[in-house]
Amino acid sequence: MTTITNTTLSDGRELIYFDDSTAAPGSRDRSAEATTDHRELPPRGAPGEVRFDALSGEWVAVAAHRQSRTHLPPAEQCPICPTTAGNPSEIPASDYDVVVFENRFPSLGPDLGDIPSHPTWGTTGPAYGRCEVVSFTPEHTGSFSGLSEVRARTVVEAWAQRTAALSAMPGIKQVFPFENRGAEIGVTLHHPHGQIYAYPYITPRAEVMGAAARRHFDRVDGKETLMASLLRAEREDGSRMVLESDNFSAFVPFAARWPLEIHLVPHRQVPDLAGLTGEERDELAHVYLDLLKRLDALYPTPTPYISAWHQAPLDAVLRPASYLHLQLTSPRRAADKLKFLAGSEAAMGAFINDTTPEAVAERLRSVVVPAATTVLESVNS
């Protein structure tokens, strides 16, 4: 069972240690002395602001304070490596497995609350919400695909626990765990990590997908969700399937937008990661590693990607029709070529894909996937 220890940093930000289920009792010192942040950090600033775009009906966060955030520091100054005498980092402990902490330079938060419910042109409000960093490993180099299954399972547990906790906070409308991997995507830290955003509004993409899901749900009188219908269709067709397990399926979607795009879907409808059973979380750790290894096996160098966990919005209308799933995408269209979002995509949102989903799925099915570094042991969540 994953061991969870809560503490706070010197400026009041929350930090949580998630220790692997296989860690020997007492092998990780989580005493107050070992987890005290001795840095003298300045007080946390007030939130930025959100502005309503009346032309699109969307909220835009303005976070000018993030201009000074850390950008690709050298290894000896990494802010999410364990603390040493020469590098008092964001992680006070000298060792850890997985850590989640509030971002020092958040796009949203740290305050919580409700933004205006009936905005018009000129409407602004505090950028309420929460932004958290998830460090997957104490190792400065590597990536998620190189984690053991035990460690990947600890990350899954952290995502699930934080999803439940953030969803219960005042004013939160959507919780979004994600990972940006690769300089081409725009990462600002080399250390393997992801993030979780808790928004005070439903994001534009989630709003569009949620509305489509709700229309389908109403059309069939609530008998089946849209994602369940799509999953059944992809499994029956088979040409775009990448892998199937007892509880999950992965496929390249019929109308993929990106050169590399994979959707990972549980066979059982759940709204979010917190809704998965212990058995499903075990299996997810294995399947997710398999997908990332396949992505990296396509080319001689690691593939940049965005790993986006789509969870049901915290909305009474959209949530019953929504369905947890992963959208794993990459702009890499060849070994030495990236797809850039130019006129049609960036200006109009009209995607033009340079690859066929069926060919991409065939390539992903056929790659040789390296074995996991550690066999996943039985984990009770």
Q: Which homologous superfamily is 205-366 in? A: HIT-like (3.30.428.10)
Residue 381 — very low, low, confident or very high, per pLDDT cuts 50/70/90? very low
Of all residues in the chain, the percent with pLDDT exceeding 90 is: 87
Could you give the angle at the alpha carbon of 182 between the alpha carbons of 176 and 188, nearest 5°?
Answer: 75
Nearest to 2 by CA among 23, 16, 27: 23
Angle, alpha carbons 74-78-84 (nearest 5°): 115
- From residue 321, alpha-carbon distances to 63, 159, 215, 346 in Å are 33, 22, 9, 29
Question: Would you say residue 166 has pLDDT above 50?
Answer: yes
Give residue 50's pLDDT: 97
Tokens 């389908």 sit on residue: 216
Name the DSSP letter for residue 235: H
pTM of the predicted model as reported, rounded to 2 decimal places: 0.95
- The CATH homologous superfamily of the domain defined by 3-201: HIT-like (3.30.428.10)
Q: How confident is the model at residue 216 (pLDDT cuts 50, 70, 90)?
A: very high
pLDDT value at position 372?
52
**Share of residues in the chain with pLDDT > 70 (%):** 97
Output the six-digit token pair for 84.
């040493």
* Rounded alpha-carbon distances, angstroms, from residue 49 to 114, 222, 341, 368: 12, 38, 27, 47
Rounded-to-integer distance, Cα 304 and Cα 281, Å: 25
Task: Give 236-287 pLDDT, tens digit per residue.
Answer: 999 999 999 999 999 999 999 999 999 999 999 999 999 999 999 999 999 9
Length of the chain: 381
Q: Assess whether pLDDT exceeds 90 at residue 188.
A: no
Instruction: Find the range with the poorest average confidence among 157-161, 187-191, 272-276.
Output: 187-191
- Count other C-beta atoms under 10 Å from residue 291's C-beta: 22
**What pLDDT is stored for residue 375 in this prediction?**
32
Handedness of CA 108, 113, 115, 117 (dihedral sign): positive
193 in catalytic set: yes
Marked catalytic residue, from 191, 193, 310, 325: 193
Could you give the CA distance from residue 80 to residue 83 in angstroms, rounded to a whole number?
Answer: 8
pLDDT reported for residue 271? 98
The chain-wide mean pLDDT, for the chain, equals 94
Domain boundaries, the chain: 3-201, 205-366
Q: Express each pLDDT in 64-81 by its tens digit.
A: 877 767 777 899 999 999
Are the folds of 3-201 and 205-366 the same?
yes
Closest C-alpha to 260, from 362, 350, 306, 329 = 329
Cα–Cα nearest to 137, from 84, 191, 79: 191
**Residue 105 in tokens:** 């330079």
Write the single-letter amino acid at 54.
A
Question: Residue 64: its pLDDT value, please?
Answer: 82
pLDDT at position 380, please?
31
| Per-residue pLDDT tens digits for 6-35 | 999 999 999 999 999 887 777 788 999 999
- How many other C-beta atoms lie within 10 A of the C-beta of residue 218? 10
